[in-house]
Amino acid sequence: MSSEDGETKRDRVRRLLIGPLQAAGFRFKKGTDAAKAKAELDRIADALAYMSDADLETMAELMLTKGEGAQRCFWPAFATFAFWADHVNPRPLEEHPRLLSWFRSRAGERALQNGALVAEYVYWKQHKAPPVKPQAIRLVEDKAREYNGKAELIRDRQRRNFQIPPEDLDWLSRFDRAAERLSRIVAEGIEDREGEQAA
């Protein structure tokens, strides 16, 4: 996709992240195939296209210290970029096809019914995989009870006009936003399944 001025998402990442790192001296090892080098930089640009301009500028500063080789001037591996990008600004839920597929499936519907949507999402973010083993399921169930209890406690204090610490209000806002986004995704999956049955 391109912006109105003709700059593609890939171009934007090249301008704000890859270009500055190249200007600072990042290069591939001698003998690296030019097509392979371009493909690796394109892969990085495509993976980080979700980030804002400010995020990409932060990444450019951060990655300056992550160069490889004795002189620290060789391009870091794709995995290094992905790791640090996740710390600067985790990839939005909508950018994870496997995660989306999980929450659109009956597993997402079960999580909604059990009040565990946010807890499962947090598990996904931490482990990059769904909670399928018994230990993981128990961990999610415990977290769901903890999150739901905390949310209810804060809401109860709001109803009774108690003074609530700003960090608790911020937590509740993030919890509610995540729950709302996940509920929409689950609803899309339910609609898709109902549509398939009706067809």
Task: Tell me how crowded residue 118 is: count the other CB atoms within 10 A of its CB.
Answer: 23
Radius of gyration of the chain (CA): 21
- Give yes or no for a contact between 26 and 73, defined as CB atoms under 8 angstroms apart: yes
- The dihedral over CA atoms of 147, 148, 151, 157, expressed in degrees to the nearest 10, equals -130
The type of residue at 114 is N
pLDDT tens digits, 57-99: 999 999 999 999 999 999 999 999 988 998 898 777 667 788 8
Final residue before a domain boundary, out of 25, 56, 88: 88
> Per the domain annotation, does 2 fall within a domain?
no
- Domain limits for position 151: 93-198
> Per the domain annotation, does 177 fall within a domain?
yes
Q: Do both 191 and 97 map to the same domain?
A: yes
Q: Do both 57 and 145 map to the same domain?
A: no
State pTM to two decimals.
Answer: 0.61
- pLDDT at site 1: 45
- pLDDT at site 94: 66
Q: Do both 124 and 164 map to the same domain?
A: yes
pLDDT tens digits, 150-191: 999 999 999 999 999 999 999 999 899 999 989 999 999 999
Please identify which residue in the block is written with the tokens 């620290």.
72
pLDDT band at 2 (very low <50, low <70, confident <90, very high): very low
Final residue before a domain boundary, out of 31, 59, 88: 88
- Give yes or no for a contact between 125 and 90, defined as CB atoms under 8 angstroms apart: yes
Q: Do both 116 and 139 map to the same domain?
A: yes
Q: Do both 45 and 99 map to the same domain?
A: no
Q: Do both 56 and 103 map to the same domain?
A: no
Q: For the chain, what is the domain count?
A: 2
* String of DSSP letters for 63-94: HTT--BTTTT-BPPPHHHHHHHHHHHSPPPGG
- pLDDT at site 101: 92
Q: Do both 110 and 17 map to the same domain?
A: no
Q: Do both 84 and 125 map to the same domain?
A: no
> Per the domain annotation, does 124 fall within a domain?
yes
